[in-house]
Structure 1
Amino acid sequence: MIEKELRFLATPEKGEVSALLIRPDNATHLLVLGHGASTNMRHPTLRSIAEQLAEVGIATFRYNFPYSEHGKGRDGQAVCTQTIRSAIEAAQEAVPNLPLLAGGHSFSGRMTSTAASESPLEGVAGLVFFSFPLHLAGKPDTKRADHLADVSVPMLFLSGTRDELAGMNLLKPVVKKLGATLHELDTADHGYKVLKKTRTGNEDVFVEMARVVRDWSASLTS
């Protein structure tokens, strides 16, 4: 297992940001993994995702956006999408011999798909969305999904059945229309808290997500 802290140039204007690489010895893919809107790459949720992915042979390259690196107000969309492209390039340089995936939890997943809809992400074989934020809480809508039709690579959505930012009645038709893959996380909310008493099965939700990502990513390169 290789665990390494790195830095890369996010944009010329915003400067460098931090990254964390976890590469298990048996890695089959490398996932460029972004964080939620109000967190950073060291948030416990993102760390749990990365650690469980490592257990199943998926390496991860976590990174900060400039605003989360410096503790300032959120960057605009152009800065975020450029940071994602820069992170993908830095990940390829750090681990040049693994098939690439990109995505993230909530906000960063949406920014990754936005970047991919504008022009293909170099070398990326598929996008993985951990709790794609389809709409604001209490304001069901699907406008945030409009750009997904312009994404040219396979997409995997991992979404909780209690996610307040992605009503399953709205998300399911969107994913079906896209021809993408949806995995429902029983009783999980946007941050993966589950209702243990009513949840079907006893598999840990992070273990479940890692298993699904592993199987899905294997299907891309088989």
Structure 2
Amino acid sequence: MLCTELIDLPEDGKPFATLLLAHGAGAPMDSPFMQRLSAELSALGLRVIRFEFPYMQDRRLSGRKRPPDPMPRLLECFRAQHANALANKVGPVFLGGKSMGGRVASMLADELPVSGVACFGYPFHPPGKPDKTRTAHLQQLTTPVLILQGTRDPLGRPAEVAGYLLSQPLQVQWLESGDHDFKPLKASGRTQAEVVKEAAKATAVFCRERLAG
């Protein structure tokens, strides 16, 4: 079940690793956020392969909004993208995703042979429902996972995340003043582009450190 792909490469065409990057629940792989993030990551040496889950492809074709596919179908799609990447011998592979896409990636962290996982704005709980956490699988992970999270993210703020039981190989890096889409308050003096760049730099460092052993 391969999906449509968009591939961003470093300028020299020599990536040190590949990141499979999935979109969030409401925006496609070519949303402004995804385009900016992918460009920043590729500029730092990663091959970024963006792809769309089936429901988003259907939405693109029909023009009608529809909810995300059930989790088994999302997982199946991500597995297919990973298998295709390995078949094309793209080198070390990392999984990643925005919000829901990151959640799906994290659920495959220990199942697939990957070097690590990067999540951009992890949905620790649904909007307005902090008691319905999505952290059970994060407690047992053995694969290194990096979560880039805005300090104003309503789906997981610092005080909430501090109370979660998370596995030792999982690290959360906080992006000051960022919301779920990494948009900061004007009073912070920062721009969304700057916060996205910060997240990309942290991801590149994470990936290089994983490969260095």
For normalisation by structure 1, the TM-score amounts to: 0.84
2:79 corresponds to 1:92: no
- 3-state DSSP of counterpart to 1:31: strand
**Which structure 2 residues correspond to residues 42-191 of structure 1 after superposition, within 5 A?**
42-71=30-59, 72-94=66-88, 96-116=89-109, 120-121=111-112, 123-141=113-131, 143-174=133-164, 177-191=167-181
Structure 1 unaligned regions, length at least 5: 1-8, 11-16
Deviations 1:147-174, CA, capped at 9 Å, x for gaps: 1123331000100000011121122343
Cα RMSD, aligned residues only: 2.1
User: 1:175–1:182: 8 Å Cα contact kept in structure 2?
Assistant: no
Partner deviation per Cα, 1:53-77 (whole Å, 9 max, x = no partner)? 0111111111010000011442111
- Find the aligned partners of 1:46 and 1:157 in 2 and give their Cα distance: 16
- For 2:62, the equivalent position in structure 1 comes to none
1:33 aligns with 2:21: yes
Deviation at residue 200 of structure 1 after TM alignment: 7.3
Distance 1:58 1:74 in 2: 28
**Structure 2: segments with no counterpart, 5+ residues:** 60-65
> CA 1:198–1:218 in 2, change beyond 3 Å: closer, same or farther?
same
8 Å contact kept, 1:109–1:132? yes
**Higher share of residues assigned strand:** 1
| TM-superposed deviation, 1:39 | 1.4
CA distance in 2, matches of 1:189, 1:201: 12
Which residue does 2:63 correspond to in 1? none
How many Å separate the matches in 2 of 1:67 and 1:206? 26
Distance 2:133 2:78 in 1: 22
- How far apart are residue 208 of structure 1 and its match? 0.6
Query: Which piece of structure 1 moves more, 151-160 or 169-178?
Result: 169-178
Structure 1: which amino acid aligns with 2:71? Answer: Q
Runs of 4 or more consecutive aligned structure 1 residues displaced over 3 Å after TM superposition: 172-179, 199-203
Range 173-182 or range 212-221, more displaced: 173-182
Q: 1:80 to 1:202 in 2, by over 3 A?
A: closer
| Number of residue pairs aligned between Structure 1 and Structure 2 | 204
Alignment pair present for 1:22 and 2:8: yes
